[in-house]
Structure 1
Amino acid sequence: MTTLQTEIEELWERRDEVSLDSAEAVAAVDAAIELLDTGRARVSELVDGEILVHEWLKASILLLYKQAQPQLSQFGPFECADKIPLKSQIAGSGVQVSPGAVIRRGSYQEPGVVVMPSHIGIGSYVGEGTLVDSWVGIGSCAQIGRNVHLSGGVGLGGMIEPPMAKPVVIEDDAFIGARSMVYSGARVGEGALLGAGSLLTDTIPVIDAATGEELSRGFVPPWTVAVPASRPREFAGGTFGLPCLLVIKHLKKGERHDKAKLNDVVRTQPKLTL
């Protein structure tokens, strides 16, 4: 992998000078994407509570976009022309995929993931036991932990470029309410519950309702319940409400809010053959 990383880094540094269509360049990029597709590597991970980004793997995705040409394919009755093919070899993976789900190659879902009709982008990672509900959009490189519930219509933004940019991270046991949007490298901590319709970016204030203290920007603390709110700000044209998130409850570690209790029936994974 060290040799492959060096190849990708050299290709990225010289991407405007060398041909990316050579057999060697295509093989190197394909090998890196295969690591992502099989879960042997991931673009980002939590190390000692901090987000570590493996820039060379993100660079390999960007190189793929420069190399690849749109290819015609069939998706049900529809004809598609896309640079990134769909993921294959779902059978036997332990992942439950409903009709209408679009999962791109170069993403990885651990065994026990349930995917309803939704879209999962390249470079993303979804942990064991997570439910991806209907009409969820998981952007490229987003990192989702284990036993997470992504409710209907949730949007998680991708952060492919620049390579050093931190992706959206949803930690283990989190619950993201319906129609919530998490973008621009924002992060939801372990066991946190995000109320329906929440907006979280790296600049959105997260405020403690009990004290009025601003806890963070773009990070919902672990084992809290946060709901969408607004706070007034003065401008030349008047007073306007700007979005924020309000932490209304602090949970004990391991405590599950009623709305966040996992549906074990949906997640039960017998020997699955698709």
Structure 2
Amino acid sequence: MQLQIDAHQVHLWHLYVPEQDDPADHQAGNHALMALLTPEEREKHGRFHFARDRRRYLMTRGLIRSLLSRYVPQVAPADWRFENNEYGRPRIADAPVQARHIRFNISHSASLVVTAVAAEREVGVDVEHTTRNAPLEIAGHFFSPKEAQALQQLPAVQQPSRFWDLWTLKESYIKARGMGLSIPLDRFSFDLDGSGSEAIGFEHGLEGDSADRWQFWRMQPDDAHAVALCLERARDGREPRIVCLRATPLLASVEEFQGTVTRRSAGDRSPASAR
């Protein structure tokens, strides 16, 4: 079945990585996924030391190839080729005409892979496992002075949650820009206490972008993960429809679910949901 997406939608795919392979489908499933990979991808898969890392890599590659072929069925999953831009962000190489409107971004934690798919607009996504200890000590190095100060002023019990909110938002932005850590994380800010009308603010010395260009959402797909989504605004100003889906690597099973968009980012306190 072909999937349709337009410039006013974002499809946010969630793929959970099991702790261990299911013996019932391990051999057949892995064989089907490995058949989609290029020789270079198979070599990279074999270099991972831990089985869980190999499993996550294999499932992720299978998912993105299967996904793209659902949107562009003229290309078989095994036939997609990818390249990295100068900052290391993956993109479709030699994209056929039917795929040139597709934008995608991938993020993963230990147990959850999230893939954002959009049309004609840049998109970035980040997911973090929030049950691990938040490295609050790095806030002074990677957050803006304003963010770090606001974080410190919170009660201790609230600081880990705020840390993950800020971290995922920042990661989603630099991934949407496609420039990675070449953009200093301390040169732009998010005011999550919300008095301004813009979701993102740029510090002195960071140029080349406009705060009005981007929209942000924070989400909680389950009790153990935080997700942030960054999306380039539509030229006509229409709000996007965010469709949240659970998937398997080969898309043998797809389930849409609602309500994971829990909060809009700073400056917009209106209720949000996966509409």
Determine if the TM-score, normalized by the shorter chain, exceeds 0.5: no
Larger RCO, structures 1/2 (Cα 8 Å, 6+ apart): 2
Larger helix proportion of the pair: 2
Larger strand proportion of the pair: 1
Taking structure 1 as the reference length, what is the TM-score of the superposition?
Answer: 0.28
Taking structure 2 as the reference length, what is the TM-score of the superposition?
Answer: 0.28
